[in-house]
Copies of this chain bind each other. A is one copy, B any other.
């Protein structure tokens, strides 16, 4: 039997008999012929039957042998004629909406309830090709910077971050929790490998039912040692983002074109503004005066993004020096003005995309920071032990993968860029 080729490879085989396989995407019965469009992972192929083939409907899995003929008006400029069709597998039910229509006609709940079949729609699938290419680019960028990939526990003995939103587990009769981030482990492993990254699930028992909260998401975490301050972390993040976008362009060009996604340019150096200077700008140029507030409101982030675009032609903007009071206890203060932190947010198209910064690295600093926040040092025993053995100045960041893709594609609900989302109300499929 001749080897299977993909739909996208057909133009290279005009005049030859080939074999393709895929799903029946669409059938059109005309007076004298029937067109069957077959979908495989590479795209669509048109097959021409003189008699309507029997026993096939949308999503029937078929194999077709045929002669490749040039036909300018067909997809890819070719079609398969003189076909022999073999039925591989029949559907037992119809799809919940038409997968062959260019636009997705179903509502989000219908899509999510029927994810295994809904994701076959080329526009929905394309989003996840962009996600996959992004992750490949993230890893390639960090591998090139001498990072080591790690795999850390998702079951932890104590809930060290924002204690309320953790999932509890019965762990052989003991209490345990699902990890909200690999923060502890990635910091500990800076002591071993200096530079580490992890791509893995994190869990938040998020009681809010919003377009941007998930109970599980994929976190792209990086942490590096022997830094001077947060600016080296920002430089690495810039490399990671550039690598992700380069990989999307290189590996998911077809998906980008289908979705008409606008892939941003990453400046060689992403512009940065200090939190205090950002507030001054907002006070001067907008109707509001946010000075003295400990955080930026969404409207402020949007204004600053537009300002960065006008001023630097950049869709990305770093805001640095967030007040210590709004950052986690492990955040390193700015030595020159200790109420400010050596941390940053990366804004992209008006929204916060990534948070990161320099961490404390001295044992005594951790003890003081925990005491100052009224935290029980005993809870953080394992965490503290890491810093008892000599840790270099270090910092890192975390990118939410589903959020990344949503922002890149201008999708407003993060569930749409998650294959099988988990939230307050959704545990299936």
Interface residues of A (CB under 8 A from B): 4, 21, 23-24, 40-41, 59-61, 88-93, 95, 114-117, 119-120, 125, 128-129, 131-132, 135-136, 139, 143, 146, 148-157, 167-172, 174, 176, 178, 185, 188-189, 191-195, 199-201, 203, 205, 207, 215-216, 218, 226, 361-364, 382, 385-393, 401, 419-420, 422, 424, 427-429
28 contacting pairs across A/B (C-beta < 8 A): A40-B194, A40-B226, A41-B146, A91-B390, A92-B363, A93-B389, A95-B389, A116-B191, A116-B192, A116-B385, A117-B386, A119-B189, A119-B192, A120-B192, A125-B192, A125-B193, A139-B139, A151-B201, A154-B154, A155-B167, A156-B427, A167-B169, A174-B427, A176-B427, A185-B420, A200-B201, A382-B428, A385-B429
Q: Which of B61, B129, B152, B157 contacts A428 (CB 8 A)?
A: B157
- Contact assessment for B148 and A132 in the assembled complex, using a CB-CB cutoff below 8 Å: yes
- Contact assessment for A90 and B205 in the assembled complex, using a CB-CB cutoff below 8 Å: no
- Contact assessment for B419 and A151 in the assembled complex, using a CB-CB cutoff below 8 Å: yes
Give A391 to B185 CA distance when docked, in angstroms. Answer: 40
- Contact assessment for B92 and A387 in the assembled complex, using a CB-CB cutoff below 8 Å: yes
- Contact assessment for A60 and B390 in the assembled complex, using a CB-CB cutoff below 8 Å: yes
Give A361 to B89 CA distance when docked, in angstroms. Answer: 8
Given contacts A4-B226, A92-B364, A191-B120, contact A201 B154 (CB under 8 A): yes
Residues of B within 8 A of A201 (CB): 151, 154, 200-201
Give A169 to B382 CA distance when docked, in angstroms. Answer: 24
Residues of B within 8 A of A188 (CB): 115-116, 429
Residues of B within 8 A of A155 (CB): 167, 178, 203, 215-216, 422, 427
Shortest distance in angstroms between A292's beta carbon and chain B's nearest beta carbon? 35
Mostly, the A contact residues are: mixed
- Contact assessment for B176 and A169 in the assembled complex, using a CB-CB cutoff below 8 Å: no
Give A424 to B172 CA distance when docked, in angstroms. Answer: 7
Residues of B within 8 A of A427 (CB): 155-157, 171, 174, 176
Residues of B within 8 A of A193 (CB): 41, 125, 128
11 extra A-B contacts, CB within 8 A, seeds A120-B192, A154-B203, A155-B215: A41-B195, A89-B362, A116-B191, A120-B389, A125-B192, A151-B218, A151-B401, A153-B216, A167-B171, A200-B200, A382-B428
Give A168 to B156 CA distance when docked, in angstroms. Answer: 15
Residues of B within 8 A of A171 (CB): 167, 215, 427
Closest 3 CB pairs of A and B: A116-B188, A59-B390, A91-B390
A56 and chain B: residue at smallest CB distance: B390
Give A24 to B389 CA distance when docked, in angstroms. Answer: 11
Given contacts A60-B390, A389-B93, contact A150 B169 (CB under 8 A): no
- Contact assessment for B419 and A152 in the assembled complex, using a CB-CB cutoff below 8 Å: yes
| Highest count of chain B CB atoms <10 Å: which of A168, A419, A427 | A427
Shortest distance in angstroms between A165's beta carbon and chain B's nearest beta carbon? 11
- Contact assessment for A191 and B117 in the assembled complex, using a CB-CB cutoff below 8 Å: yes
| Highest count of chain B CB atoms <10 Å: which of A91, A129, A172 | A172
- Contact assessment for A149 and B169 in the assembled complex, using a CB-CB cutoff below 8 Å: no
Residues of B within 8 A of A382 (CB): 428-429
Residues of B within 8 A of A207 (CB): 172
Residues of B within 8 A of A205 (CB): 172
- Contact assessment for A178 and B172 in the assembled complex, using a CB-CB cutoff below 8 Å: no
Residues of B within 8 A of A389 (CB): 59, 91-93, 95, 116-117, 120
- Contact assessment for A92 and B172 in the assembled complex, using a CB-CB cutoff below 8 Å: no
